[in-house]
Amino acid sequence: MQFPNVSDTDIAFGIMPDKKILANSMEFYNKNTKYNQLFTELFFKGGTIHYKEILTDKTRKNNFRYLKAVMGSFQPKHEQKDAVCAFILSKLVDIDKYDL
């Protein structure tokens, strides 16, 4: 899945995810999946992204930039941000490479 392109300004100041992405992320809302756990770890501690091998470099870069822009946003409630970022991570990372 390709997420929208974001500018450097979007990354610096954050963005509000569009309605389609918010709707798709509801399966992660107020959940404790491995993707939600990974978001929490990345948000509070940082870490390494283990991308899915099938993603192209362009897709990896674009989707990671979108993830950073959402993570840095003050707009959505934290629960929404958690769900959206978990959804993005589910499309971006190989979750089996994490010890969660």
Q: Could you read off the pLDDT of 46-69 as tens digits, one per residue? A: 998 999 999 999 999 999 999 999
Residue 1 lies in a domain: no
Confidence at residue 37, expressed as pLDDT on a 0 to 100 scale: 95
Q: Is 8 within 8 Å of 68 (Cβ atoms)?
A: no
DSSP assignment string, 53-76: TTS-HHHHHHHHHHHHHHHT-SSS
Its domain, for residue 22, covers 8-97
> Is 21 a member of any domain?
yes
Q: What is the pLDDT of residue 99?
A: 84
Task: Please give the DSSP secondary-structure letter assigned to residue 29.
Answer: T
Enter the pTM of the model: 0.89
Residue 47 lies in a domain: yes
Flag whether 87 is in a domain.
yes
- Residue 82 domain-assigned? yes
Range 39-52 average pLDDT: 92
CA neighbor of 51 nearest in space, from 86, 17, 91, 81: 91
Q: Is residue 2 part of a domain?
A: no
Q: At CA 57, angle to CA 43 and CA 5, rounded to 5? A: 65
Say if 53 falls within a structural domain: yes
Q: What's the number of domains the chain is made of?
A: 1
